[in-house]
Each structure stands twice: as C-alpha cells, then as structure tokens.
Structure 1
C-alpha cells in the first residue's frame, strides 16, 4: 500500500512519462499538442484519461452545467458517431447521463482497459501507454475532422 504522497508521486511520474513519450507525436493537423491535457477548444468538452490501482479509461466528457446544452453536444457526437467509430476502430460506451466520482452529472463516451491494471505498477506502464496512445491519437484525428461541427458551442 502506498501513502497518499507516494501514490500522488507515482501518478505524476506516469503522466509525465506518458507526456514525454507522446511529445514527439504531432497532432493530425501537424501541430504540437499537449497530449496529457488535450484541449478541444470547446468549453466543457474534454478528452480525458484516467488510471487507478485497478483500471484505466479514456473518454470524451461533456460537463456543461446546462443539461439541455450538454444533451445538444452529446447529440452532435451521435450525429458523427460513424466517423468516430471508423476512426477509433472499436465501439465505445455511450452514456447520455453519467455521474462522475464527485456526483456531478455529465455525459460520457468511453472505453476501458479490459483487464485489471494498475498505474502504481511500473511494469504495467507500457501496457497503459499502449492502451492510451492509439486511442488518443485516434480521438485527435476524429477531432481534426469534427471540431467544426462543434463551433456553435465555443
């Protein structure tokens, strides 16, 4: 078991390592991008990654406080779902209503690592990177094509 400080340091080390690993990868538009803190340019719309002592997830999260606007953004993703699926080359879970760890209502499109994995086990970091990297690159490729459909929400 790790202390709170040790756990925080290990997580920070993983994300720093992942960021350094991805730093040489240009975005689909050819720009330099901060892969760990990916910016969609749309308020309350995020591409996020999470890893714990048991699992790993990557997701599109819509956090707009107005549920009707959140629904409109989610519906726009549904309209573009064929492009998203073709780019990701896998099915993701679609949750129109999702409650995050603090109980806040959001909308989420996500996928998870299909086996138990821990960010606290450095031997599993290559597996985590192999999980996150192609999906994040695919999300960026999708976003390069789709972001103009979300201009109204900026």
Structure 2
C-alpha cells in the first residue's frame, strides 16, 4: 500500500515517462502535440488517459454542464461512430450518462485495460503500449471529425 504522496509521485513519474516517450511523435498534421493533455479545441470535449490501481482507461469525454449540449455532442459522436471505430481498429464502450467519482455527470466513449496498475512499474510498458496507438488514432480521427462539431459551438 502506498501513501497518498507516494501514489502521487508514481503517477507523476509515469506520465512524465509517457510524455518523454511520446515527445518525438508528431500529430497527423506534423505538429508537436502535448499527448497527455491533448487539446481538442472544443470546449468541454477531452481526450483523457487515466491509470489507477486496477485498470487503465482512455476516453473521449463530453463534460459540458448543460445536459442538452452534452447530448448534442454525444449524438454527433454517434454519427461518427463507424469512422471512429475504423480509425481505432476496435470498438469502444459508449456511455451517454456516466457519473464520475466526484459526482459529475458526463458522457464518454472509452476503452479500458483491466488488471493493470500504474503502481507496478513492471506494467508501465503495457500501459504505454495501450495508450500510445489509441491516442495517435484519436488524433487521426479528430483531424477530420472536429469539423462535424463546428455547427454545435
């Protein structure tokens, strides 16, 4: 069991390692990108990567506080579902109403890697191998898909 400080340090160390690993990887339009904090340039729509004690998750989250706007975004992603899954090379889970640990209701599209932990450094290569191709695929998808959201903003 780790103290809160140790857990925080290990998470930070993992994300620093992942960031350094991804630093030479350019976006689809040959630009440098902060892969950990990917900027969709769309308010309240994020690409999130998360690690914990039991699983890792990568997700597209729609976090607008207005449920109607969040629903519009989710519906727009549904229109692009085939394109998204084709780019990812796999199907992801879709949840229109998901309650976060903090009690916030969001919508999300996600993929989970179960039975892994950021607190086990031996699992870090597995975590990197999970996140890297998916965040790169999300970048390729978003390069085209973001224009479908112009009318919603």
Global fold match (TM > 0.5)? yes
State yes or no: 1:74 paired with 2:69: no
State yes or no: 1:29 paired with 2:25: no
Counterpart CA distance in 1 for 2:95 and 2:60 is 10
Deviations 1:27-80 (A, max 9, x none): 011111000000100010000000001110000000001101000000000111
Aligned position for 2:3: 3
Determine if contact 1:64/1:106 at 8 Å carries over to the other structure. Answer: yes
Counterpart CA distance in 1 for 2:28 and 2:101 is 31
Alignment of 1:72-151 (within 5 A): 72-113=72-113, 115-151=114-150
Partner of 2:68, secondary structure, is helix
Give the Å deviation of 1:153.
Answer: 3.8
Give the Å deviation of 1:152.
Answer: 3.0
Partner of 2:31, secondary structure, is coil
Q: How large is the RMSD of aligned CA atoms in angstroms?
A: 0.8
Note the residue ranges of structure 2 that are not aligned, 5 or more in a row.
Answer: none
Displacement over 2 Å in runs of 4+: none
Determine if contact 1:14/1:125 at 8 Å carries over to the other structure. Answer: yes
Note the residue ranges of structure 1 that are not aligned, 5 or more in a row.
Answer: none
Superposition TM-score, scaled by structure 2 size: 0.98
Aligned residues: 153
Determine if contact 1:22/1:35 at 8 Å carries over to the other structure. Answer: yes
